[in-house]
């Protein structure tokens, strides 16, 4: 649901975030996420967003690129400080709109193989 992932110069680490949503909430999740992605564009860390209509349903994957764990922490902390990201910064907060739609969340840190176009 984002653009196709493009090759990246490295070195980078990648975070794969997986959200298992409550059945029937994919459209609501997508509408909220479309608003929220603007908070995460400054460092070009968004690589891709994926879901399937076959197999396990209502599962969303987001892939993020960071130079290292320190830049991941700094980027994520900066998003929390932006108006509209959470309840403390009002204006239809993204987090309070999406958290009730989630059943489980998972985060994995991955290091690309040398043959990967995502370095």
DSSP 10-59: S--EEEEEEEEEPTT-HHHHHHHHHHHGGGG-TT--EEEEEE-SSSS-SE
- pLDDT tens track, the chain, 119 positions: 677 788 888 899 999 999 999 999 999 988 888 777 776 666 778 898 899 889 999 999 999 999 999 999 998 888 777 766 555 544 445 667 788 899 999 999 999 999 999 99
Segments making up each domain of the chain, as ranges? 13-110
Could you tell me which CATH number the domain at 13-110 has?
A: 3.30.70.100
Cβ-proximal residues to 73 (8 Å cutoff; 6+ apart), any chain: none
């Amino acid at each position: 649901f984002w653009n196709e992932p493009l090759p990246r110069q490295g070195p980078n680490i990648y975070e794969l975030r997986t959200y298992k949503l409550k059945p029937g909430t994919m459209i609501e999740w997508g509408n909220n996420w479309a608003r929220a992605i603007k908070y995460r564009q400054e460092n070009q860390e968004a690589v891709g967003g994926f879901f399937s209509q076959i197999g396990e349903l209502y599962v969303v994957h987001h892939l993020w690129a960071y130079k290292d764990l320190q830049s991941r922490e700094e980027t994520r902390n900066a998003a929390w400080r932006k108006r509209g990201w959470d309840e403390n910064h009002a204006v239809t907060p993204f987090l309070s709109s999406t958290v009730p739609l989630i059943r489980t969340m998972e985060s994995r840190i991955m290091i690309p193989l040398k043959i990967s176009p995502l370095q």
